[in-house]
Structure 1
Amino acid sequence: MNFKTPSLLGHTPPVLEIPAHQHWYRVQRTTARKDSVRHKGYVLAPPGGLAGRFDLADEATAYLADNPETALYESLFRREARSCHWIRIEQRALLTFETHSPLRLVDLRGLETHFPVLQSMRYETSQAFARACRQQGLHGVLYASAQHASHSCVCLFMDGIDKTRKVTTEALVQPGTGLLLKAVVNAARGSQVPILKE
């Protein structure tokens, strides 16, 4: 295979091949919106919104985390959150995806020390880098979670999404009982973000 790893601010990060049978976790809405992209169990934001760090203008992307709590910190219990409403939790599920083929990912973990832009809210630089990675045939970007220290997240492009399969779906609020999934309790406790019912 002959491709050049895109550079980020003059630095060429490594490309890793992640073996098959790895589990990744995602929190998403249980009901798709009218403009959502539904693909292989994913409910994705439509392309073009460019609201995420590694979003592409012309292709949907999927963000996943290395464990359930990290997925929850990244989606519902972010550090800037002052509260999380019960309805938002009820409308979402925790999904587990497994890779069935190796993934070629550019690895940005550790670079945020030298390039704080990787964890800033200014996404133009990281989105341009994601576009270059996609053009080079990579499956996605591996990066450090800005919400959960020492944990990792991945943004998969469509080719990477196609190398995964959905394994489980767990409602964040258990139907009939109103009990919260244990990972939600852990994330709410760890973040100290109150869950509001009113």
Structure 2
Amino acid sequence: MPEDVGYALITSEPTEFALMAVGEDSTPSDQPEADSSDAQLSSSTLEKLFTDACIDAFAKIKKANMLLQQQNQELEQLLANKNSEVEKLIKNKDSQISILKTEKSNLQALFDLQNEKYSTCRDELAQTKVSCKKWVESCKGFKMLLGKQVHSKAKFGIRYNHTSPPEDYAPIDSKINEIVSEPLSPPFSLMKFQP
């Protein structure tokens, strides 16, 4: 880990402060008048600054500061990761929202088309002036009529109601074939032309 400037300042401040206070040529007149009362330290105070207890205290402060900085970096990294995850989730949600909007638009268009067809059919039905009840009754009557025709004994044609054809019956196609197969008279005979 690179050395933090703040840590160096913390460790160097007591030394610089002590040197300023006990300089060989320093006199009370060399210091500003406003700071003269705060800058003057007794020899006993200076001795306490360089004791083992004071050095240990500064070492503990430095260590605590490093731990705080490490925690701060970890929190910043965690925050960056969370922001990245949130951005990905937002993009996914935006994509889903876009898909849903497209589906909604398609369904709306389909609904409008079906509604238009329904309106057209309703208008056409209204113009015919035929009620559904009458239409159903008409269909029932038509069905009954067909049923009566199928089950009636009247013979309306060959093979109707599984009846056998007459004895002298011949299909129309066979009669046409007989006519075509007969030889034509000389005026209508086919002539071969020489090239």
- When normalised by structure 1's length, the TM-score is 0.16
Q: Which has the larger share of strand?
A: 1
User: 1 or 2 for the larger relative contact order (CA 8 Å, sep ≥6)?
Assistant: 1
Greater per-residue helix proportion: 2
Structure number, greater radius of gyration: 2
Q: What TM-score does the superposition give when structure 2 sets the normalisation length?
A: 0.17
